[in-house]
A and B are shown apart, each in its own frame.
Chain A
């Protein structure tokens, strides 16, 4: 490549990739730097591990890390586990499959906050779910479902919101497997489970990893679902971070922010890796 061509390419990249790299790079740099005591908005800026030290001594910090990982992992798992059979079922068009696809993907249109509102509306103390359960005689008295201690409400919400996304990715991947390949497996004696485990899953592994990772990152960093529908005695990492920031403790917020990024990154890598191991390494012989 000539120098002139390089300059052209760099000039073209500058407003797009360049801007992204600069802005996100600065954001990450700022988070790391502030967690280490630099860029103080008040007081002096100097390098120190003080904020990390103090944070690592807080019980609430560990609780919050654990809670976020729990939400992220199970949201991704449930969404993908639910989406897979549906994607396989919808692989070949049949009467009504378009309608089903549309209904299933409808939550993609619903903004997260609206989804949260609709959800708490249904599960509230006097809401329709409690009424219904009492009416069929399953429960004697209304149960308190909102802000449940285990975050089941959040998991339901996250799955509702993210399953369609996993379905979108997986449908594309599953549809790209040719009929002949699946027929060949059948012809050679592979039953439904064997076809899934040995043909469909390995051939759609990258879409599955993409779905798992993207949903995991989104759910691990969740703020609004947690504030609206989550347990009141737990805090997600994002919530924890906003709490520090609102009280002006930028350095503490930065420590949590860096933790959140690390959790998202390491968690995604582990998820992707584990998927590969389970599908390719497990019981090959």
Chain B
């Protein structure tokens, strides 16, 4: 059999599998989110008997969805910016200065990825208790997110700094540019995609981060993932959970589409924080 034929067969079967894998679960979620409480969706019916956006309105009015959305969407961009600010000096040092121990420093940046999230969460909360800082949960979670998501930002920014070309800097100097102009001319063009990628990745990871938000935030500080988790818990109402699940996934899809565009030319493994 020809390679092209094999590819075709493999491709169609794979697309079928993936359609089943992606389309069915999501269709089910959408359908469930549209089930009207007037009549339940029983196993004998292919589609919900009565469909409405009642659940969406209900969740909006009567659950912690609004504070959760507010918290998540204040937390994530703040974490993204704080992480980038904290990561950039280190990335500059790792990317542009030769010093003994650089490899060790690079390894240390990976620590947050190696220590399991729940261990970090629990003992971070323990430290906060010891220090008596547990009152300001937003600040605590913001700080923790910034630290545990820093490996991604450092990795991406280090590569960006490495890509700044010394001859551009030298040319700018040679032509009499001041320090600020040099940054504008030689550094920023090379750093821009990295900055965007770092912000987006930290944003997405912070939006969906569960362990720290759950351990440090509970019970009073709710984010979308912790709300979804509690909805999936003892008082599990499937249509309500469907609404939350869909809300949680929307920003990811939008952000990832932007990210894909940004990283198209770059190496995919850059964004994984491993090197």
Contacts and interface: CB of A to CB of B under 8 A. Distances in A.
Given A1-B99, A172-B267, A250-B126, A23 B93 contact: no
B100 interface: yes
B245 to A, nearest CB: 4
B49 interface: no
A197 B106 CA distance: 31
What does DSSP make chain A's interface, helix, strand, loop or mixed? Answer: helix
Interface in A21-46: 21, 23-24, 26-28, 30-31, 34, 39, 41
Nearest to A24: B111
Interface residues of B, number: 77
A110 B119 contact: no
B240 to A, nearest CB: 11
Given A15-B86, A16-B109, A41-B129, A117 B119 contact: no
B249 A110 contact: yes
Contacts of A113: 208, 210, 225, 228-229, 232, 245, 248
Contacts of B25: 118-119, 121-122
A191 interface: no
B267 A20 contact: no
A217 B116 contact: yes
A96 B4 CA distance: 12
A213 B191 CA distance: 30
Contacts of B91: 16
B15 interface: yes
Interface string B127-166: 1011000000000000010010011001000000000000
Given A12-B92, A118-B25, A221-B119, 15 more contacts: A23-B124, A27-B120, A28-B123, A31-B123, A39-B126, A96-B11, A99-B15, A110-B252, A111-B249, A117-B228, A131-B43, A242-B215, A257-B119, A257-B123, A265-B114
